[in-house]
Amino acid sequence: MRTGSPLPEPRNVTRTVEVMDAIRQRMADGRLSPGDRLPSIRRFATAMGVSPSTVVESYDRLAAEGVIRSRPGSGFYVSGSLPPLALAEAEPRRDRAIDPFWVSRQSLDADAEMLKPGCGWLPADWMPNAALRRAIRRLAHADDAVLADYGSTHGSLALRRLLARQFAEEGIAAGADQILLTGSGTQAIDLICRFLLRPGDAVLIDDPCYFNFQALLRAHQVRIVGVPYTRDGPDTALFAEALAEHRPRLYITNAALHNPTGATMSPQTAHRLLKAAAAHNVTIVEDDIFAGFEPDPSPRLAALDGLSQVIRIGSFSKTLSASVRCGYLAARPDWVEALVDLQVATNFGGPSPVSAELVLATLGDAGYRKHLEGLRRRLARARRETADRLAALGLHPWLMPRGGFYLWCSLPDGRDAANVARTALDERVILAPGNVFSVSQSAAGYLRFNVAQMSDPRVFEVLKRAIAAAEG
């Protein structure tokens, strides 16, 4: 951003939006119907306490949207007809089965009043929005090509170079040409699945693991095989057994901080996994999405293996922004080329150049790094405090994670997490019951909590009632 460039006046923008909203409100509550003439500019300016030019701007923009129409010499009129709006758009269906989509749908479509201790992201005001806003202001001055064009098939070279430097620090030698930007971390895994899997193939995942791995693999119609997860990572003996029995093509796991448990893989486990996987020609997808929350680096399969049989994927959704969608993968060069074709075929090109530019600028913002440090401290405090408050309700974490925002807690006295979650949802609190994470359905006695989403005391009140109501 050039210093001294005139920034837009936010107040006028706000006033224009207020006038537009006032008109929309009149249409919504029936005071203005299709065909009705809008108030005159002068009269409405007086009524709203704004300048006539603000009303003109508002009417022009509503006309550009098609909400109202101008009839020359006669004023503005409400347009023909509004389409029907179904109730379903505001309300996710509460009665749907508690399956791997349950938490996603409830959390993503929750309205602002709902509390979401079961969701998988930070509250909006815990995110580095100041740094992102600076990046957005810079973006307004970017070249036409950044704003208008599809961008290259691999995605922003500058961002790929930055990632390559970060990988080098971890000991992973990957050129920028081995990195492919994607629309999201999930989309990166999806591309890999499309590339490597055929219906009926076996795929190993951790049990428990991130519920969307299961949802994604269902879309690929593969056989999902769970490997029990220990406090040191997947159980290596059972992992080896599963390899021999199911001959899987792929194993998908989290690096750094495991979702939902918050556990960290030990170096011995990492080494044994790689050795067993190599013997059976299994490709490993290592999802590094929680890396930014680690207090210090932990073993990485990709670093031990050097991107031979491991594919690293990640995104910026947890620490930077989930709204600016951008993920990545790093893999063998020949695989990257095939994945590029797949991404062109299925999404015409890579992620938005505008998104990549915003990510790059935010990562390079000094305020972002300070934010991350502060965030780690804030989360450490929230983890301790939340664990104490949950303990008072008889909920105990399976382990105390080194970082991140998850606590994987056992319920007291054999109570069923799905029942607790259903009761809580009636009180507008979204929980994450254990079995949505478990392919073997063996986690009925667990809930995953997000310590950053639990500052409202109502969470604990509802939780207490819901636990009491659930059968023991």
Site for a second copy in 350-379 (CB under 8 A): 351-355, 358, 363-366, 368-369
Which CB, 171 or 414, lies closer to a second copy? Answer: 171
CB of 397 to a second copy, least distance (A): 25
Q: Does 203 bind a second copy (CB under 8 A)?
A: no
Strand partners, 77: 37, 69
Q: Does 335 bind a second copy (CB under 8 A)?
A: yes
Q: Which stretch binds a second copy (CB under 8 A): 213-221, 255-263, 391-399, 438-446?
A: 213-221
Which CB, 165 or 381, lies closer to a second copy? Answer: 165
Q: Which stretch binds a second copy (CB under 8 A): 143-151, 294-302, 386-394, 441-449?
A: 143-151
Among 47, 124, 237, 399, binds a second copy (CB under 8 A): 124
Distance of CA 275 to the CA centre of its chain: 32
- Angle between helix 52-65 and helix 10-28 axes, rounded to 10 deg: 60
Site for a second copy in 242-301 (CB under 8 A): 281
Q: Does 392 bind a second copy (CB under 8 A)?
A: no
Among 41, 136, 304, 444, binds a second copy (CB under 8 A): 136
Among 22, 157, 304, 380, binds a second copy (CB under 8 A): 157
Site for a second copy in 20-59 (CB under 8 A): 28
* Cα distance between residue 260 and residue 449, in whole Å: 9
Task: Write the binding mask 1 to 20 for a second copy: x where contact by CB under 8 A, - elsewhere.
Answer: ------xx-x--xx------
Strands of the sheet with 406-410, listed across from one edge: 396-397, 406-410, 446-450, 432-433
Which CB, 11 or 457, lies closer to a second copy? Answer: 11
Of the candidates 318, 213, 307, 181, the one whose C-alpha atom is nearest the C-alpha of residue 256 is: 318
Of the candidates 178, 252, 246, the one whose C-alpha atom is nearest the C-alpha of residue 212 is: 252
Cis peptide before 353 (omega within 30 of 0): no
Among 18, 26, 75, 101, binds a second copy (CB under 8 A): 101
Of the candidates 167, 445, 125, 205, the one whose C-alpha atom is nearest the C-alpha of residue 313 is: 167
Q: Which stretch binds a second copy (CB under 8 A): 134-142, 271-279, 297-305, 459-467?
A: 134-142
Report the SS3 class of residue 289: coil
CB of 220 to a second copy, least distance (A): 9
CB contact burial 388-405 (16+ within 10 A = b; e otherwise): ebbeebebebbeebbbbb
* DSSP E strands, 150-222: 179-182, 202-207
Among 114, 139, 380, 469, binds a second copy (CB under 8 A): 139
Among 49, 66, 72, 73, binds a second copy (CB under 8 A): 66
Size of the site for a second copy (CB under 8 A): 127
Residue 153 structure tokens = 């098939």
CB of 409 to a second copy, least distance (A): 24
* Cα distance between residue 258 and residue 275, in whole Å: 21
Q: Does 216 bind a second copy (CB under 8 A)?
A: yes
Angle at 449 between CA 443 and CA 454, to 5 degrees: 155
Q: Which stretch binds a second copy (CB under 8 A): 228-236, 237-245, 328-336, 411-419?
A: 328-336
CB 164 within 8 A of CB 174: yes
